[in-house]
Structures are given as C-alpha cells and as structure tokens.
Amino acid sequence: MQNIIEPRVLKGFRDYLPEAEIERSALIETLTRVFRSYGFVPIDTPVLEYADILLGKGGGETDKQVYQFKDHGGRDVGMRFDLTVPFARFMAEHVEELYLPFRRYHIAKVWRGENTQRGRYREFMQCDFDIVGTDAATADADIVLLIHDALAALDIGSFTIHMNHRELFNRFVATLGAAERAPAVLWAVDRLDKIGREEVRILLSAEIGPENAGKVLEFIAPEADFESTLAKLERLAGGPGSDSARLREIWEAACAAGAVGKGTKGKLVLDPSITRGLDYYTGVVFETRLDAMPEIGSVCGGGRYDELASLYTKRRLPGVGAAIGLDRLLTALETLGRTKGRSSYTEVLILVVEDGFGVRYQEAAATFRRAGLCTEIFPEKKKLSAQFGYAEKKAIPYAFILGGDETARNVVIIRDLRTRENHELASIEAAITLIREKGGL
Amino acid sequence: MQNIIEPRVLKGFRDYLPEAEIERSALIETLTRVFRSYGFVPIDTPVLEYADILLGKGGGETDKQVYQFKDHGGRDVGMRFDLTVPFARFMAEHVEELYLPFRRYHIAKVWRGENTQRGRYREFMQCDFDIVGTDAATADADIVLLIHDALAALDIGSFTIHMNHRELFNRFVATLGAAERAPAVLWAVDRLDKIGREEVRILLSAEIGPENAGKVLEFIAPEADFESTLAKLERLAGGPGSDSARLREIWEAACAAGAVGKGTKGKLVLDPSITRGLDYYTGVVFETRLDAMPEIGSVCGGGRYDELASLYTKRRLPGVGAAIGLDRLLTALETLGRTKGRSSYTEVLILVVEDGFGVRYQEAAATFRRAGLCTEIFPEKKKLSAQFGYAEKKAIPYAFILGGDETARNVVIIRDLRTRENHELASIEAAITLIREKGGL
C-alpha cells in the first residue's frame, strides 16, 4: 500500500465548497450584469507578470507580499497582487488598438503573501471598474451611479456612498498656510474612522498646531445635507472652484438618474472626511459603507486619478474608477443573513424507484431540461431514504417519481420536498406546469 | 523625467482584449448554463497548492512544467497545472462535508511552463466536469449527454462523440494472448489519428507480431452502426460482458434523451480505436471531434476511472468525467467564422450634442437601463464624428440624440447606426419600444 499524502491547503488559502461558490457566483453574475448595463467591457490579463512591471518604482509595503520567483527561462516573475497595476500595463500596451474613453471591468483573483493573523486570505478576488481617457464629470458620475446600482442590485440593505474632492481639501489646507503639510493632514484625517475625533485632533495638532487642527475638524464634519455641506466647504476653501463645481455636477447627475432620494436603497453624501490614502487620487474620491454594518469599513472605494500608467507610457491616461470588495460583501451577506443558502441549482431530482426504467427517466429528464428546469437523475436504485437524503443535501425542491404502479395508472408523481406533498399528474407536461406555478429554488 | 518600464507580457501569456474576452465569457456562460441544467455544482480551489500535493508520485512529463517556488514561509508550493489533481485533493479533504455522488464543474485557469513553439500558451483555461462516488451507468450516460448538450448549445456545427470501453479492449487483447502487452497496444492504437493505419500496423507488429497486428486493426475499425460495431467487438472480445452491456446502456440513454438520431447536431458513435492514453481510465472513454474541423483533434474527452484520489485518501472514489478544451473551441469558432464578433454589450449610446443637457442625458440613460437596455453616455461634447467613431469601435447599434432642436419640437431621435437611419419619436418610452422591435446586438 502506498503512502497517503495528507490532503490540505496552504495557510491563507481556502477551497470554495458548492454553497460558498454558488453564493460568490451569484454575486459576480449580478455585478457583471450591472457593469454591462453601463457599457463596461471585460478584459483579462495574465496572473504572472514580469516582476519589474509588477513592482514598478518598488519600495512599497505590498512589494514584500508579492509571490515572486524565477520561471523556467530564468525570468523574474510575480503573481499579480492587484488588478490596477496589470490594467495600467494593459492600457499602456494596447491603447492604440483600443479606443478612449475605455470602460472596463475585471473580476479576478489576486495574491498577497500577507500575515494571515488579521483574518485575511492570501488569495482573494478583486472587482475593479474604471473609465480611462477622459477628465469629464459624466465619467465621475457614472462611477458613482454604477456603485449605487451594483449595491442596490444585491440583497444587502441600505448603504451610503461618501464622496469628497481631493483638490477642495488641498485648497482648504492651503488657506491654513499648511500646503506642504497636506499629505500628513490627509493621512491623519484618513484615520478618523479607526481612532476617532480626539486622537485625530492630537495628530493634527502635532502637525499644524491646535488652532488649525480645530479648523480641520470643523472642515471635515458634514452638514445636514449636500448643499449646506458644499457651501461650507467652498467658504472654508476660499470660494467656489472647479472642484466644488464637479461635486455639484455629480450630485445633479445622481439626482437625475434616481440614485439619490426617496425610494432608493442608496444614499449619496458629501463627506469631507473621506480622503482615500495619499498618492494616487487627484480629484473626486468615494467610499461606500453598509448602513447595517459600518464597522466592516468601505465595501466599494475609488476616485479620479490623473495618470493611470505613467510608469509604462508617456501618454497621459486620466481616469476614474472604483473597486468592490467581494470578500467583504460576501461576509456582510452572511452576517446579515442575506445569503441565498443555495446548495445547488437542481430543481428536479428523478428518483430511481424501479429497475428497468432508465430509458423513461432519461426521457423525463430531457423533457424537464428542455422546459428550462435543472434536472438530474439519481444514478442508481437505492433506498428512498438515501435518495431523499441526497435531495436534502442539495436542497432540491422537487422529486419526480415514476415506477410500475404509476405506469399502470398512467400518472407521474411530483413530490414537493419542502412540504412533503405528493401531486399526481397525468403527464410530464402537467408536472412542468405545476412546478412552474409553485416556483422553484 | 522618470524612465518608462516597457509594457509587455511574458512569453506564452496573453492579454484578452474586450472582443476576445466577451467571446470567452459567452462560451463559459453557455457551458455553465448546461452544467447547471444537469445538476452540477461549482467549486473552486486555490491556484497555489503544496508542491507534494501537485506532484503526487512525481516523475511525469508535466512535473517539469509546473511553476514551483518557495513561498514567504519557505514552503514548497506550485501553481496548479490541471484541475484534476486539485479536485482529487478537494474530494479527499472534504468528502465527509459533502455527499455522494458529487457532480461538480470547475472552469478555471491552469499554468504549464511548456515549450511555446507548438503555439501553446503557458496560461490557459480548463473546464472539467465529473460525477464522483458512483459506478452507475446513468452517470456515464449523463456525461455523454452533457457533452452533447454543451456542444449543441454552442454555434459550432455538427460534431461526433466517439465512445469506447477500456475493459472490452483489454478483454480482446487478452484473447490474442497478449494481455501483458495491452498498454503498448493501447499506446500504438492511440496514435492512429496522428500516424495513420499503416504506421500503427508497424508499431503493433513489433509488439505482438503481424498476425495479431492485423486482428487489432480489424478490431478498432468501426462498423456501419452502433449495433453491428458492438456485435463485432463482443465477438472478438470473447462474448458479451458487463463492458458491452454498459456501452449498450449508455447508447439507449442517449437515444431516449434525444441526443442521437435525426434532428440533433451530435452523433454518438462506438469507436473502438479510442483509447485515451494509458493509466487513469478504467471503463468507458470518450473523445469528441467537430465534423468541420477533425484536424484540431478532440475538443472534449474523458472517461470512467476507479480511483480519483488514491494519492490522498484510502477511500475509494470511482467516477466519470470529461474536460472541454475551451481554447480549442474558441479557435474553432474563429476558424469557422462563428464568433459573435461582439465588441461590447452596449445597445444605446447617448450622444452629447449640446452643453447643459447632462441631467437630461442621465435621466434618459437611467430610463433605458431600467428597461433592460445596456446604455452609456458619451462623456463629453465632442465632434459627432468622434462620437460615431467611438460607437463603431464598440459596435453599438443605436444612438440617442437629444438637443435644443429636439426639445423645441418635443421629440427624441434614435439613430440606427448600422443602417444610418434616424427615427424621430415622441418619448424615450417610444424609443425603447422601437429598439425592442428592431432588435439589439
């Protein structure tokens, strides 16, 4: 007897069993439908890239987490750690074959050799969408609307999209005479959610003094509504500008498209405390929180940038985009009890109640499938309890029963496995009608 | 000015631009629908596995092609090179949490550091489906039917599923007194397609002598139909057996399900020359060829095996399954001119013909989307030729036009971009009706 290799997965990695994978597929299918409805197209890039492409300027925290190695040809390669870097490389390489503005979505796995103690996985899925090659406000608005429609399409309750503008923030910091301190101020404000207002005050005071710290805290506090918040920001930042005009355009577009206001699950708020880290973003920025679970942080964030691909091309590629945290959304759906809990797609299980009926069962299965019902035949005659047990594991709603007795009486039986009710019917067609009326999964 | 890193992908890897990715997505969506209609459930496994899991007994040709490296924790890891090994590990690990028979599909990327000279890619997608945990004929039949329905659902013309049984073949070889030569005989027969009948005769003669070689060539030649071929095989193999009974059961199931016979795109033939390599398969085996392109070889092959996971568990896990060659199918669709050639999903492009209409455009876009039409707004006012050029690149069928003139006359315009015909309509609702009537992409 040969030795058994212990079956196991690497730390930080996981298998998706059917229920989890069906849930993830459903989420991806919904998001895909919404992306397409906004004119976004899919692309794909290789999992492995040249290490110099992935690491770019290098030196970041992420670099150490990249799975890097030498391939069979001695090339330094790495597994992608996000979808932004490959997209930048892709745009630089293919812009002449494509067209601008280019709206793409990409839902794919990425890998980071992170410390798993914080409950993070080393393999996870990202979901990015961007509009590249335009500075227009419509593109900013489209990203906000898409975030809205995508989350509204999920059964995840109400949510709030927080929006801000980096330029407006920078103008305000300049009025304090602290323009060169803007990155540190941004960084401190970005921690508001995690450390709270008073800790931020301490950080800010150390940078720009207590009086200015107070002014920053006043600036980042939202007012009652969009208009009054925007008015305050314009006043504190030295007057209206293209930045505040841009925020107003996005707001008006969202109102026009029905993405804010009564009857929607989504709120859009102007939130001057949203800064989204330090470097990349240059215009509007967004974060999105679930109203029932603010503690999990942003489930969809992004913003406008001036240069997508300056590492790989001299061509200017401004754009706007966001990323949805699929794993966070799945966790949230689970915590909120909103998962479908679907174990399979099967709607009809054909029970094997008598030998010699194989051909009849195949005919029945083919008829059900042609009617659009997902159908399987239990593979062999076993005790009914075993066959029902299987149906229960897969949460199959209906069983089809046909044996000698039914044949003699010229009927077929549909059993509703949820109510344990039997329905005697004259034909498979009548069975299909019944199932359609009663509803499936 | 910083240096530019040349944007490029690794040899043997490729980007999928929108048209190619849309084609691949359409193929995957169709296959997924068919898998689900047969009660199959999706699973997913990590891209990285422990090297000892991936390499198993080791020593095969594939081993050298596996992308292997040490991870951050010094573990020997590798990227999966197929979906069978991870599935075997998955079943061994999770069989107690699951149920048997377990029907799963898995469509995912795999990696092999192969020589790219033969036009092969180092990253490609596999599509596997298996029924594990049963010896039943119904499971064999389901795999044949699924191959049939999957290929019939694609716009790929007629095809032929070739079926054989390894046991029947082995019984026949035993009648020649050459049982111990069976692997070499199988190997020679397996090369029939590539080297032709006479070269196979030479190989066989060297193994088992010219007289037996002649008998093997007689055995592997199909007769006019299923029954006469099966009758010959039974006669030459020493009489009927459970193997020939199994082939007949599969045949009858396929007839009952309407997968053979008039009106179907698929033929099922008993082809005793099909052997599917050497080790793994123990029962029925299949290959599938496109009638218009036999030269590309099998687009879907598989068979029955006794032990899925004997490397990882002592539990016996027999099963039957097959794999669809997605890349071959995509190449075939392209060669046959059957690709959709779809550059996007967008059905309506809202042209920006006048400033100050942003809110009206957003309202229109939201209305179109609510009606299920994929819609985008061109992001800014540019020359109409530029906007039409963009629509052409994305193969968008309809443009929506609304400016001051239309507003004054209380109309909207839908332009059919394929016929260049303008339709003047009283409302967006009328525009939606028109587009639905004329048809979209």
What stretches of A336-383 show up as alpha helix (H) in DSSP? Answer: 358-370
Query: Chain B interface, mutation test: which of A29, A41, A375, A382, most B Cβ atoms within 10 Å?
Result: A41
- Give the single-character DSSP code of B98: S
DSSP letters of A118-170? GS--SEEEEEEEEEES---HHHHHHHHHHHHHHHHHSS---EEEEEEEHHHHH
**Closest Cβ opposite residue B17 in set A24, A94, A136:** A94
- Higher pLDDT, residue B100 or B114: B100
Amino acid letter, B101: P
Of all helices (H) and strands (E), which one includes residue B126? strand B123-132
In A, minimum Cα distance to B39 occurs at: A346
Query: Chain B interface, mutation test: which of A27, A33, A40, A44, most B Cβ atoms within 10 Å?
Result: A44
Query: Across the interface, do B7 and A92 touch by the CB < 8 Å criterion?
Result: yes
Contacts of A312 in chain B (CB under 8 A): 4-7
Query: Across the interface, do B52 and A360 touch by the CB < 8 Å criterion?
Result: no
Contacts of A111 in chain B (CB under 8 A): 47-48
User: Residue A217 and residue B401: Cα distance in Å, rounded?
Assistant: 46
Task: Kindly report which listed range (A58-72, A339-353, B335-349) carries the lowest average pLDDT score.
Answer: A58-72
Query: Across the interface, do A41 and B22 touch by the CB < 8 Å criterion?
Result: yes
- Inter-residue contact A39 to B378 (CB < 8 Å): no
Q: What are phi and psi of B105, to 5 degrees?
A: -120, 155
Which class would CATH give B18-335?
alpha beta
Buried b (16+ CB within 10 A) or exposed e, A237-266: beeeeebbebbbbbbebbbbbbbbeeebbb
Q: What are phi and psi of B169, to 5 degrees?
A: -65, -45
Is residue A279 pLDDT above 80, yes or no?
no
Enter the tokens of residue B356: 């100050």
Buried b (16+ CB within 10 A) or exposed e, B90-122: bbbbebeebbbbbbbbbbbbbbbbbeeeeeebb
User: Residue A27 and residue A29: Cα distance in Å, rounded?
Assistant: 5
Residue pLDDT, tens place only, A33-63: 999 999 999 999 999 999 999 998 766 777 8
* Strand ranges inside A190-333, DSSP E: 266-270, 281-290, 300-305, 319-324
Residue pLDDT, tens place only, B371-381: 999 999 999 99
User: Residue A418 and residue A397: Cα distance in Å, rounded?
Assistant: 6
pTM above 0.90, yes or no: yes
**Closest Cβ opposite residue A47 in set B41, B75, B123:** B123
- Inter-residue contact B158 to B265 (CB < 8 Å): yes
In A, minimum Cα distance to B101 occurs at: A379
Q: What are phi and psi of A244, to 5 degrees?
A: -70, -30
| C-alpha distance from B59 to closest chain A C-alpha (Å) | 16
Query: Across the interface, do B65 and A72 touch by the CB < 8 Å criterion?
Result: yes
Contacts of B352 in chain A (CB under 8 A): 138
Of all helices (H) and strands (E), which one includes residue B69? strand B68-70
B282: left (phi over 0), alpha (psi -120 to 50) or beta: alpha
Surface-to-core class of residue A177, CB atoms within 10 Å of its CB (0-12 exposed, 13-18 middle, 19+ buried):
exposed
Displacement of CA B309 from its chain's centroid (Å): 23
Sign of the dihedral through C-alpha A50, A54, A57, A63:
negative
| C-alpha distance from A165 to closest chain B C-alpha (Å) | 19
Residue A16's alpha-carbon distances to A9, A60, A189, A394, B294, in angstroms, are 12, 31, 38, 16, 37
B320: left (phi over 0), alpha (psi -120 to 50) or beta: beta
Domain formed by B348-438, architecture:
3-Layer(aba) Sandwich (3.40)
Of all helices (H) and strands (E), which one includes residue B124? strand B123-132
Of all helices (H) and strands (E), which one includes residue B185? helix B182-190
Task: Show me where the domains of chain A are located.
Answer: 18-335, 348-438
Which residue, among B322, B317, B320, has the nearest Cα to B133 in the 3D structure? B317
| C-alpha distance from A269 to closest chain B C-alpha (Å) | 19
Which residue, among B171, B137, B132, has the nearest Cα to B248 in the 3D structure? B137
**pLDDT of the residue at B63:** 82
Of all helices (H) and strands (E), which one includes residue B42? strand B41-42
Is residue A84 pLDDT above 80, yes or no?
yes
**pLDDT of the residue at A17:** 97
- Inter-residue contact A78 to A62 (CB < 8 Å): no
Task: Kindly report which listed range (A189-193, A243-247, B77-81) carries the lowest average pLDDT score.
Answer: A189-193
> Once rounded to an integer, what is the mean pLDDT over residues B276-289?
88
Residue pLDDT, tens place only, A87-144: 999 999 999 999 999 999 999 999 999 887 767 899 999 999 999 999 999 999 999 9
- Inter-residue contact A358 to B137 (CB < 8 Å): yes
Is residue B170 pLDDT above 70, yes or no?
yes
What stretches of B133-181 show up as alpha helix (H) in DSSP? Answer: 137-153, 166-175
User: Residue A385 and residue B229: Cα distance in Å, rounded?
Assistant: 40
Q: How confident is the model at residue A2 (pLDDT cuts 50, 70, 90)?
A: low
> Once rounded to an integer, what is the mean pLDDT over residues A180-190?
89
The mean pLDDT of chain A is 93
Residue B358's alpha-carbon distances to A135, B132, B403, in angstroms, are 15, 57, 11
**Closest Cβ opposite residue A22 in set B42, B65, B379:** B42
Question: Angle at Cα A267 formed by Cα A265 and Cα A272, nearest 5°?
Answer: 160
Euclidean distance between the first and the last CA atom of chain A, given in angstroms as a whole number: 45
User: Residue A282 and residue A278: Cα distance in Å, rounded?
Assistant: 9
User: Residue B154 and residue A215: Cα distance in Å, rounded?
Assistant: 64
| C-alpha distance from A417 to closest chain B C-alpha (Å) | 16
Q: What are phi and psi of A109, to 5 degrees?
A: -80, 150
In B, minimum Cα distance to A366 occurs at: B257
A305: left (phi over 0), alpha (psi -120 to 50) or beta: beta
> Once rounded to an integer, what is the mean pLDDT over residues A291-307?
93
Surface-to-core class of residue B74, CB atoms within 10 Å of its CB (0-12 exposed, 13-18 middle, 19+ buried):
exposed
User: Residue A238 and residue A172: Cα distance in Å, rounded?
Assistant: 7
The residue to which tokens 């020997």 are assigned? B76
In B, minimum Cα distance to A92 occurs at: B7
Query: Across the interface, do A113 and B72 touch by the CB < 8 Å criterion?
Result: yes
**pLDDT of the residue at B441:** 59
The mean pLDDT of chain B is 93
Is residue B155 pLDDT above 90, yes or no?
no
Is 0.85 exceeded by the ipTM?
yes
> Once rounded to an integer, what is the mean pLDDT over residues A152-156?
91
Enter the tokens of residue A303: 């913003």
**pLDDT of the residue at A136:** 96
Give percent of chain B above pLDDT 70: 97
Cis peptide before A397 (omega within 30 of 0): no
- Inter-residue contact B362 to B369 (CB < 8 Å): no
**Closest Cβ opposite residue A41 in set B18, B53, B256:** B18
Amino acid letter, B163: M
> Once rounded to an integer, what is the mean pLDDT over residues B218-243?
95
> Once rounded to an integer, what is the mean pLDDT over residues B83-112?
97
Query: Across the interface, do B53 and A113 touch by the CB < 8 Å criterion?
Result: no
The residues, any chain, with a CB within 8 Å of residue B175's CB and separated by 6 or more, are B236, B237, B238
Task: Kindly report which listed range (A254-258, B24-28, B286-290, B402-406) carries the lowest average pLDDT score.
Answer: A254-258
Contacts of A48 in chain B (CB under 8 A): 10, 13, 67, 111, 123
Of all helices (H) and strands (E), which one includes residue B285? strand B281-290
β A123-132/A319-324 pair status: antiparallel
**pLDDT of the residue at B209:** 94
Query: Across the interface, do A374 and B37 touch by the CB < 8 Å criterion?
Result: yes
Q: List, edge to edge, every strand of the sheet that includes B412-416.
A: B375-377, B348-350, B398-401, B412-416, B421-425
- Inter-residue contact B58 to B18 (CB < 8 Å): no
| C-alpha distance from B254 to closest chain A C-alpha (Å) | 8
**pLDDT of the residue at A64:** 87
> Once rounded to an integer, what is the mean pLDDT over residues A214-237?
95
Q: Is B182 helix (H, G, I), strand (E, B) or coil?
A: helix
Amino acid letter, A20: A
Contacts of A36 in chain B (CB under 8 A): 345, 374
